[in-house]
Structure 1
Amino acid sequence: MGMIGYFAEIDSEKINQLLESTEKPLMDNIHDTLSGLRRLDIDKRWDFLHFGLTGTSAFDPAKNDPLSRAVLGEHSLEDGIDGFLGLTWNQELAATIDRLESLDRSELRKQFSIKRLNEMEIYPGVTFSEELEGQLFASIMLDMEKLISAYRRMLRQGNHALTVIVR
């Protein structure tokens, strides 16, 4: 079973409850804390999105890469065998949105390589054919547009973005 990812819209009260909880690791409380919250679910495509924007796996992100942070969150809250939690505060969302919107899609397309994606085992156990490169890239760009839309909504609502990647 692989890891799935989603971006949860979380208000200040809930994020403070999560951060102040010291009884258990954050991952132990995550499902209860996020129950009922609005979220953008990208399932197992979270690492495709990271790869499409950065050329690297989210498991080995480049240090201080702003595009990596756009996917994984500006602040790492927990990173372990059971999953990853990243947080982008509301006041950081506008800059994140600007970064994503200013990307040159044609340049990203030129840099995208399904051969490299396969070599890096972004989706372990699956080898994608070269014929699918355009379709896969289009899917990544669609996920990016959905993420921008979700981030805009969070910004308008005064909420924060919590990146959740779990088994």
Structure 2
Amino acid sequence: MVDEYTLERMMEMDGAEMMDTLEKLIEGGSEYYDIDKLWEELHLTLTGVSASEPVEGDPLSEAVVGVHVFELEEEDGFFACTEQDELEDIIAAMQQVDLEKLETGDVEEALRQQVTSEFTGLLDFYRRAAAAGKHVIFSVV
């Protein structure tokens, strides 16, 4: 989660500066949520397509990969953001998902439970960000 000032500063950074800033924010106690390697599986479960093919305008896709992608060199990783006023639509869409019916394809029950847990954790994180009036930065490196 970041405030307006931090988001504006980060929009001017390159990938290395952005990663350094995120690390400093986390070390400084800023609230964050780490999906780790399940972000691809979560996106696929929610949208039916890979996270490498985000669905523009789909709040469930945007829940996993963000709304606004930062234009950086590919080797710098992936960075995106969702602004505070965009969180409401994402939260509303996520609240409509029936967790019992989440399809994770032909995977074991343990993975389905992990994806469900990540979904629930991410939704809770977005609720806290919205309540705090914060923006959300995404990174995959």
Task: Indicate the TM-score class for this superposition, using the shorter chain for normalisation.
Answer: 0.7 to 0.9
Q: Once the 2 structures are TM-superposed, how far is the Cα of residue 63 of structure 1 from its aligned partner?
A: 4.3
TM-score for the superposition, normalised by structure 1: 0.73
Matched, 1:106 2:100: yes
RMSD over aligned Cα atoms: 1.7
3-state secondary structure, aligned to 1:95: helix
Question: Pick from 9, 31, 34: which aligns with 1:41?
Answer: 34
Which blocks of at least 5 consecutive residues in structure 2 are unaligned? Answer: none
Which blocks of at least 5 consecutive residues in structure 1 are unaligned? Answer: 1-8, 115-129
Q: Are the aligned partners of 1:14 and 1:33 in contact in 2 as well (CA < 8 Å)?
A: no
TM-score for the superposition, normalised by structure 2: 0.85
Which entry has the higher C-alpha Rg, 1 or 2? 1
Per the alignment, residue 135 of structure 1 pairs with: 110
CA distance in 2: counterparts of 1:52 and 1:81, whole angstroms: 27
Q: Are the aligned partners of 2:16 and 2:76 in contact in 1 as well (CA < 8 Å)?
A: no
Q: Normalized per residue, which structure has more helix? A: 2
User: Structure with the greater relative contact order (CA < 8 A, sep ≥ 6): 1 or 2?
Assistant: 1
- Percent identity between matched residues is 33
1:55-96 C-alpha deviation (Å, 9 max, x unpaired): 221112344433111111111113624311111100111111
1:125-150 C-alpha deviation (Å, 9 max, x unpaired): xxxxx5x2x22111101101100111
Q: Normalized per residue, which structure has more strand? A: 1
